[in-house]
Amino acid sequence: MERRFFTALFVVTFVMAFLTGSVNVAAGQPPKEIKIGASLAITGRFSVEWGPPALRYMQAMESIINERGGIYVKGYNARLPIKLIIYDDGSSPDRSVELYEKLATVDKVDFFLGPASSPILIKASTVAEKYGIPMIGQEANSPYIYARGFRWLVGVDMPAPQWAEDYYKMLKAFMDKKQIPRLEKVAIIKEDHPHTLDQGWGAEHYAGVAGLKVVSVEKIPLGMADFSPIIIKFKKLEPDIVYVATWGTTGATFAKQARETGFKPFDLHIPHACLSLPWYKKVGPEIGNGVTGISHVASFKSGDVEMHNEALKRSGLGPFDFGCAPIRFLALEVLVKGIEKAGTLERGKVMEAIKNLHYKTLHGDMFFRFGVESGGKKVDGVGNKLVYIAQWQEG
């Protein structure tokens, strides 16, 4: 009687555990594949900087990883292929939320890669937090995203305000070496959008690094088309630097109108101008030549350069055709290494492994920072990926 009681108790306990998902699948029964979900701005406003090239690059990465045998998961003693499920969010934050809900509940993906841009990730990351699914932020680097105490989110890029800090450090170095004249004044334009406002915050607060005085800060609506009043004002102020913290299309509009009105500061710095070749083609050489910005692309010497270059080749892309490719590479690499370090697909353990990664990648050391200040906020889970100050010279 006692034996039957304990047998029945064991059966009931096992069934309940199975139904609640608390029983670990036997190591000998691995899943067919590791499913990774994401939304992407293939169409819509942000497709100018992402679009079909981003999708082609991600699909090439998927193929290469699988051709190399997939991801080794120690708990299964097996290498598992990955399956990327990527939907077009049309550059819409609300649509992105719907798609991540679908990825979680219908496609039942194991992990998330974040969408393109800060305003979309701000909303999409709430789905990762809701379901406890690790999400790797990619190009989205607004400090607000990482100041909300989310447990299931990290981002590989350095926070947006640091872009300005690095730019000013470069100017100071050039001035100290007398390679450029001593500059005194900077005027700033910042577009009313999370990522661009954070760029503008950095431009304003780090100007002292180069000994510059901020003579004007102009906050403009998203997609502003007429810069006449601002250009007239800037001409009177005669700034040495104009820091244009906007999206690429808006920055191109300003650059064209500045050229048409004969306004030419010592340096026109538009961070998004140097992210990809299409921007230069859009404005043409007369306007584009000499404009500075930031770039994620460099002549990489560390990390898995072979995989990155092969993915570009298979995608039919040159290094500047899709300037965010190195970030996309890094985010997927972080997820792969996190799974391998955890030795399991258990989400909590994979998330913890990701947060504790420290390894060499394309840009050098890769690790995540916690409890640091950025843009006047305390942030957690932000990456340290370098950006490079670039200048357009004859395309």
Cβ neighbours of 275 (radius 10 Å) = 24
Structure tokens of 46? 């942000």
- What is the C-alpha to C-alpha distance for residues 309 and 325, in angstroms, rounded to an integer? 10
Q: Which residues of 153-190 are buried (b: 16+ CB within 10 A; e: fewer)?
A: bbbbbbbbbbbbbbbbebbeeeeeeeeeeebebbbbbb
**What pLDDT does residue 3 have?**
44
**What pLDDT does residue 27 have?**
54
**What pLDDT does residue 16 have?**
42
One digit per residue, the tens of pLDDT, for the chain of length 395 reads: 444 433 444 344 443 443 333 333 435 689 999 999 999 999 998 998 899 999 999 999 999 999 999 999 999 999 999 999 999 999 999 999 999 999 999 999 999 999 999 999 999 999 999 999 999 999 999 999 999 999 999 999 999 999 999 999 999 999 999 999 999 999 999 999 999 999 999 999 999 999 999 999 999 999 999 999 999 999 999 999 999 999 999 999 999 999 999 999 999 999 999 988 889 999 999 999 999 999 999 999 999 999 999 999 999 999 889 999 999 999 999 999 999 999 999 999 999 999 999 999 999 999 999 999 999 999 999 999 989 999 999 87
Please report the sign of the dihedral spanned by the C-alpha atoms of residue 200, residue 201, residue 204, residue 205.
negative
**What pLDDT does residue 18 have?**
39
List, for residues 8-66, the tens digit of each pLDDT value.
443 444 434 433 333 334 356 899 999 999 999 999 989 988 999 999 999 999 999 99
What φ, ψ does residue 192 adopt, rounded to 5°? -75, 80
Cβ neighbours of 210 (radius 10 Å) = 24
Output the pTM of the full model: 0.89
In the chain, where do the E strands start and end? 34-40, 71-73, 78-80, 82-88, 111-113, 135-137, 153-157, 185-191, 213-220, 241-245, 267-269, 292-295, 358-361, 364-367, 369-374, 377-385, 388-391
Asked if 124 contacts 95 with a C-beta cutoff of 8 angstroms, the reply is no
Asked if 120 contacts 140 with a C-beta cutoff of 8 angstroms, the reply is yes
| CATH homologous superfamily for the domain 161-295 | Response regulator (3.40.50.2300)
CATH 3.40.50.2300 domain extents, the chain: 34-160+301-386, 161-295
DSSP string, 311-335: HHHHHT--TTTSTTHHHHHHHHHHH
Amino acid (one-letter) located at 374 = S
**What pLDDT does residue 270 have?**
98
Asked if 294 contacts 390 with a C-beta cutoff of 8 angstroms, the reply is yes
The residue count for the chain: 395
- Which H/E stretch holds residue 261? none
- Which one, of 51, 42, 189, 41, lies nearest residue 118 by Cα? 41
- What is the C-alpha to C-alpha distance for residues 274 and 297, in angstroms, rounded to an integer? 10
- What is the C-alpha to C-alpha distance for residues 254 and 263, in angstroms, rounded to an integer? 11
- What is the C-alpha to C-alpha distance for residues 177 and 195, in angstroms, rounded to an integer? 32
CA gyration radius for the chain?
24
| CATH homologous superfamily for the domain 34-160+301-386 | Response regulator (3.40.50.2300)
Burial class (CB in 10 A: 0-12, 13-18, 19+), 78: middle
Q: Any idea which residue has 């926070």 for tokens?
A: 159
